[in-house]
Chain A
């Protein structure tokens, strides 16, 4: 049995210029998200419970190795970094991870990354591996070897209970577990551990966003019927010229009689039903 966890090195506290929208990141304030840390913790728990080796993998630049070393310090067996300098589309990341973790029976990922992640890598990874997938997991418990009982978040506050069997890809939320604190011996040995750095299978993937020439939006012309009748008739209709109407009246009445007058007028204008019949009901 082999377990794997996938993590992503992201800016945890990006500085966003409110005017230009430009994003500045600082490696000192970067790391992996709570969800990815939970994924590593679950992978370690699975490894301990089932006596399995745990591999931690990432697709990223060399700075991401510090996160891999943290995972090694916590107890992961091996670490793999697929060396890229520029971000890849989620599908390509899924393919790269699937190739690197071809022998893993269960792969645990964070549900989505902090850098505007869409949560699509775990499904792409599951697809590339031909494995089952269970995403948005909010609770897990370990069963027999290779079997996980999980609870998944659904719309409307509902939950779905699943029994997931290897081979599978699990995507967990950050609230499910907190990554353990590495022992000092682990920290020291991880500093000396070697990390398996691999080149991506598609070294120059196509740009995820294709730029094309774009014109301003011009909607198709709508055909609208022209006005009917002469200009004079339409003007008269708008202004009420030539139509019969009751001129305004000024009445001084007792309140009771005045109320009856108002009701009668509203009925005459079609605003209310006959007051007499309404009173009967």
Chain B
């Protein structure tokens, strides 16, 4: 006799939403969390896009512990001494139902888990799932924990994060590789609220916020950076390819120090007090690096399933975790109704993922990681763009002005890049973003 119908491992957004949905459908659910409270182990570096929450938690924006609503989004190209920023602002994003928000994950994840508990799920914290328990028929029938005693269930939903030991143990990650991972490192810096609003050009006294994504500035390591505003702190960090970081012999905190010292970013963080440093692996391998998400008695969701969209313009994770948690819950509900917890009984999970934004967007952007982490996108094109603008904006009287095409042609020639590479990159970019 199982202890619960479903055990959800990991009380992040995927796990909490799976537990919330199943509890609302009347199933007994245990939500297992290794940290002392949900969110205590989580790190992220960006914006939470909450549209997927609209149906699950109506008017969620009135209850969620949000720091700032993002009304300014920028993409910065950095070279050693230059920067080019595409800066977009919209006051429409400052009104309900909003577009995206910054939040502290310990607050946000705890709020989501509390919603699951209110719906009837049982939260067990400070408990790590150390392995899978198999039934006589070979199905996953529960999890072993670091406490005395196993936790038995008809179905296990593994939302145990990027380095999912449960999915690996179940053999669902045959091609797991460090090349599919990046390392996110982040500093949280404290500044007075008014100072943050002044430095980022945010309307004073509002809870509007800014999110800047950065290409370049990572000391030659493939990846990128980010800066975003919380209420009275700034988060600044970098996302670095593991292979590049290892080969560079540069420590990740030195990359953040480099970003903070860049002339375009230094005025934003000057005089701020360091409150927190954190690091976390990110599954940026995309669609082609995803594991099998369905096993006998086991589903995999969230970061554990590699569901993090890192596609340049779109850097999203929490919404995909929530979407996959909801799909997993619906699939389990159907399996319970049929009484079939085998892979065949749970396979509708993958169909549901395919039918929603979760896998459709990942499929569409499957080439993004390869494109975005290439040397051309990381270093060469930003350098040409910055040099082009620098020469256009530099007044060289009494020499006559040169046109953009003339300058661009000279820069392109000097860069050593081939037209065919640019055409190929343009074609890939069109496939992803077009």
Contact = CB atoms under 8 A, between A and B. Distances in A.
Q: Which of A181, A184, A185, A187 has the most CB of B within 10 A?
A: A184
A183 B3 contact: no
A181 B36 contact: no
Q: Which of B122, B148, B151 has the most CB of A within 10 A?
A: B148
Interface in A176-196: 181-185, 187-188, 191
Interface string A148-185: 00000000000000000000000000000000011111
A184 B30 CA distance: 12
A187 B145 CA distance: 12
Contacts of A182: 147
Interface string B127-167: 10000000000000000011111110000000000000000
Q: Which of B36, B37, B146, B147 has the most CB of A within 10 A?
A: B147
Nearest to A192: B122
B122 A191 contact: yes
A191 B30 CA distance: 11
B40 A188 contact: no
A184 B110 contact: no
Given A28-B106, A28-B110, A191-B122, A184 B36 contact: no
Interface string A104-122: 0000000000000000000
Interface string A186-208: 01100100000000000000000
A249 B63 CA distance: 93
B124 interface: yes
Q: Which of B40, B145, B149 has the most CB of A within 10 A?
A: B149
Contacts of B3: 188
Contacts of B37: 28
B127 A184 contact: yes
Nearest to A187: B124
A28 B114 CA distance: 13
Contacts, number: 31
A185 B122 contact: no
Interface in B63-116: 106, 110
A184 B122 contact: no
A139 to B, nearest CB: 27
A19 to B, nearest CB: 13
Contact of B148 (A28, A183, A188, A191): A183
A182 B124 CA distance: 12
A28 B149 CA distance: 26
B105 to A, nearest CB: 12
Interface of B is mostly: loop
A181 B145 CA distance: 12
A34 to B, nearest CB: 15
A186 to B, nearest CB: 8
B149 A185 contact: yes
Given A28-B37, A28-B40, A191-B122, A184 B106 contact: no
B147 A187 contact: yes
Interface in B239-288: none
Given A28-B106, A28-B110, A184 B145 contact: yes
Given A28-B106, A28-B110, A184 B40 contact: no
A185 B127 CA distance: 12
A185 B106 CA distance: 27
Given A28-B36, A28-B37, A28-B110, A188 B145 contact: no
A11 B33 CA distance: 22
Contacts of B150: 184
Interface in B29-52: 30, 36-37, 40
A185 B150 CA distance: 9
A188 B148 CA distance: 12
A143 B36 CA distance: 36
A181 B149 CA distance: 12
A28 B111 CA distance: 12
B295 to A, nearest CB: 23
B124 A188 contact: yes
Given A28-B36, A28-B40, A28-B110, A187 B148 contact: no
A188 B123 CA distance: 9
A188 B40 CA distance: 21
A128 B3 CA distance: 45
Contacts of A181: 146-148
B434 to A, nearest CB: 45
B392 to A, nearest CB: 49
A188 B124 CA distance: 8
Interface string A216-257: 000000000000000000000000000000000000000000
Nearest to A183: B148
A187 B151 CA distance: 11
Contacts of A188: 3, 30, 122, 124
A168 B388 CA distance: 84
A28 B145 CA distance: 23
Interface string B364-401: 00000000000000000000000000000000000000
A181 B128 CA distance: 13
B184 to A, nearest CB: 23
Nearest to B150: A184
Nearest to A26: B106
22 contacts: A28-B36, A28-B37, A28-B40, A28-B106, A181-B146, A181-B147, A183-B147, A183-B149, A184-B124, A184-B145, A184-B147, A184-B148, A184-B149, A184-B150, A185-B148, A185-B149, A187-B127, A187-B147, A188-B3, A188-B122, A188-B124, A191-B122
Interface of B: 3, 30, 36-37, 40, 106, 110, 122, 124, 127, 145-151
Given A183-B147, A191-B124, 16 more contacts: A28-B36, A28-B40, A181-B146, A182-B147, A184-B127, A184-B145, A184-B147, A184-B148, A184-B149, A184-B150, A187-B124, A187-B127, A187-B147, A188-B3, A188-B30, A188-B124
Interface of A: 28, 181-185, 187-188, 191
